[in-house]
Amino acid sequence: MRSPHRTGMLDRLPAVFEEEADSRVDGFREECGVFGIYGHADAANLSYLGLYALQHRGQESAGIAAWDRTRIVVEKGMGYVADLFDEARLARLPGRAAIGHVRYSTSGESRIENAQPIVYKTNKGPLAIAHNGNLVNADEIRSELEGEGSIFTTTSDTEVFLHLMARSRRETIVGALRDALARVRGAYSIVLLAGEAVIAARDPQGFRPLTLGRMGDAYVVASETCAFDLLDAETVREVEPGEIVTLDSGGVSSASFAMGRRTSFCVFEHVYFSRPDSVVFGRSVADARRAFGRRLALEHPAPADVVVPVPDSGIFAALGYSEASGIPYGMGLVRNHYVGRTFIEPKQSIRHFGVKVKLNPVRSVIGGKRIVLVDDSLVRGTTSKKLVKVLKNAGAAEVHMRISSPPTTNPCHYGIDTPRRKELLAAQKDLEEIRAFIEADSLGYLSLDGMLAAAGRGEDQMCAACFSGRYPVPFAEIEEQQSLFPRID
Ligand code: SF4
């Protein structure tokens, strides 16, 4: 079924009211999701299901590329997986090997040319690639290659991989990929289709998750294990940081290009990005969020009657807070799951819908109560401010805001769309100023040490740069000159 907010007459209405509609708009944005399968007669159909499970990682575009025994066929477009693919479109993707991608643009504009998988005919045969992450030296490599005559067809950093592979003098695909990976720096979990072979690789720091699974005789790789659950596939293991895994008629083979280095797993995958029913970096996301909430309750207790999550990402942290504090848990806000990331207000003169388009208070839960409101992060603060107001207007006696991560003081350079530093509230204001801005009765953030302890790894294994400012991979200082991740829709 097509989502009503994305089609028909709403598309023709003029006033786009994105800011207010998306409760995550002042948060960090999702990045991308990748999927690959080798050895199944329904490879494209299973890719569709895999991408469906990964939809939360990117809603701008989606695509599937399949090997039909003679060439790589690709179907992709702008929009949601369920809106883009139907039986007829999937039937145009035959074969036993396929890769797929859902995209949110952190590098390159949001347009069809940048939708993935990107397919190229190269001197090593046809190649398709899907990428989750962000290369910190893509501009530099691109300029160099363009200076030597290369012609890029997209503005996405992902295309750099294919150009570097095509220029490699090595004869094998894995050899060419090794050459390419030796040049790039930053975050990448990539899946390639090279003829019938599916190849997966993860950057040496392992910023983004990537896991190998099995379905009978077929093998699958996916950004998150929730994709395996939908397919009834079993998790085999993570693709290791610095590893290249090849799935082909010989089974699974592994090659290291930079294994054994210090890792930089993105802690924000646990805080917000990944689905709670996934296991990433060897840890259940739901368990990690619950541990954040328990720790938060110990660090920042509140005199309250009920713990209310900001759904959906605050749910498990609020459960943890409730467990540790003994304060009952209550669903005081209900989320409308049918609002897309772009809500079009029919006529702004009718009324100002605000955050209530997506989150509506349950008066019987919050009326007259002192509330602990638990959210995963506070970035610009605009949504928190509105939610405090919504709860108070609905009868809450007090609202104590608790954030299950530390203050976000720095932007991400590794594949997450973040506001510039000057737009990050915690980079500009102290705790009391932020509390006053959001008009909460009290405010408490989980500490950096507390978050890492609850995540089960230290900063020597995880990236927490958006909280600490300690970036594990250097990047060019371009932040104040321009938006890091310009969006031109
Ligand atoms: S800077 Fe933050 S969002 Fe980016 S990779 Fe590091 S922890 Fe994740």
In this structure, the strands spanning 462-463 and 265-266 are: parallel
What distance, in Å, lies between the first and last C-alpha atoms of the chain? 25
DSSP annotation string for 12-39: G-S-B-HHHH-TTTTSPBP-EEEEEEES
How many CA atoms, within 13 angstroms, populate the side-chain half-sphere of residue 218?
Answer: 23
The span from the CA of 392 to the CA of 217, in Å, is 56
The span from the CA of 284 to the CA of 275, in Å, is 10
3-class DSSP string for 413-436: CCCCECCCHHHCHHHHCCHHHHHH
pLDDT of residue 409 exceeding 90, the answer is: yes
Q: By percentage, how much of the chain surpasses pLDDT 70?
A: 86
Q: Is the CB of 35 under 6 A from ligand 1?
A: no
**Span 180-191, average pLDDT:** 96
Q: Is the CB of 473 under 6 A from ligand 1?
A: no
What is residue 482's predicted lDDT score, i.e. its pLDDT?
Answer: 35
pLDDT of residue 1 exceeding 60, the answer is: no
What is residue 415's predicted lDDT score, i.e. its pLDDT?
Answer: 84
Question: pLDDT for 134-173, tens place per residue?
Answer: 999 999 999 999 999 988 988 888 999 999 999 999 999 9
* Residues 306/330, Cβ–Cβ less than 8 Å: yes
- Per DSSP, helices labelled H in 85-225 are 87-91, 138-147, 159-167, 173-183
Question: pLDDT for 211-253, tens place per residue?
Answer: 999 999 999 999 999 999 999 999 999 999 999 999 999 999 9
Q: Work out whether the CA dihedral 316, 321, 326, 332 comes out positive or negative.
A: negative
- Three-class SS state of 124: coil
Nearest to 373 by CA among 398, 341, 406: 398
Atom of ligand 1 nearest to the CA of 472: 6
**Selected residue with higher pLDDT from 270 and 16:** 270
pLDDT of residue 264 exceeding 80, the answer is: yes
Among 203, 266, 462, the mutation site with the greatest number of ligand 1 atoms within 8 A of its Cβ is 266
**Span 191-203, average pLDDT:** 97
**Span 461-479, average pLDDT:** 85
Quick one: tokens of 133? 């992450």
Atom of ligand 1 nearest to the CA of 408: 2
What is residue 110's predicted lDDT score, i.e. its pLDDT?
Answer: 65
How many CA atoms, within 13 angstroms, populate the side-chain half-sphere of residue 329?
Answer: 19
Quick one: tokens of 61? 């575009």
How many angstroms does the Cα of residue 415 sit away from the middle of ligand 1?
8
Q: Is the CB of 454 under 6 A from ligand 1?
A: no
Average pLDDT of the chain, as a whole number:
88
**Span 416-442, average pLDDT:** 92
The span from the CA of 46 to the CA of 321, in Å, is 38
What is residue 380's predicted lDDT score, i.e. its pLDDT?
Answer: 87
The span from the CA of 85 to the CA of 131, in Å, is 20
Nearest to 473 by CA among 203, 82, 110: 203
The span from the CA of 275 to the CA of 77, in Å, is 24
**Span 329-358, average pLDDT:** 68
Lowest mean pLDDT among 72-76, 108-112, 180-184, 299-303: 108-112
* Residues 404/293, Cβ–Cβ less than 8 Å: yes
Quick one: tokens of 405? 């991560």
Nearest to 488 by CA among 108, 15, 104: 108
pLDDT of residue 357 exceeding 80, the answer is: no
What is residue 106's predicted lDDT score, i.e. its pLDDT?
Answer: 56
Quick one: tokens of 267? 């802690």
**Span 385-412, average pLDDT:** 96
**Selected residue with higher pLDDT from 278 and 7:** 278
How many angstroms does the Cα of residue 466 sit away from the middle of ligand 1?
5
10: Cβ–Cβ under 8 A, 6 or more apart, which residues?
4, 344
**Selected residue with higher pLDDT from 278 and 342:** 278
What is residue 350's predicted lDDT score, i.e. its pLDDT?
Answer: 52
Angle in degrees, CA 257, 260, 265, rounded to 5 = 100
pLDDT of residue 180 exceeding 50, the answer is: yes
Q: Catalytic site residue 32? A: yes
- pTM of model > 0.85: yes
The span from the CA of 285 to the CA of 283, in Å, is 6
DSSP class of 401: E
pLDDT of residue 19 exceeding 80, the answer is: no
Strand partners, 219: 38, 214
Protein residue with least CA distance to atom 2, ligand 1: 466
**Selected residue with higher pLDDT from 358 and 275:** 275
Task: Walk across the sheet containing 125-135 and list its strands.
Answer: 118-122, 125-135, 186-194, 197-202, 243-248, 251-256
The span from the CA of 190 to the CA of 35, in Å, is 9
How many CA atoms, within 13 angstroms, populate the side-chain half-sphere of residue 55?
Answer: 14
Nearest to 286 by CA among 313, 307, 262, 258: 313
Quick one: tokens of 224? 């998150």
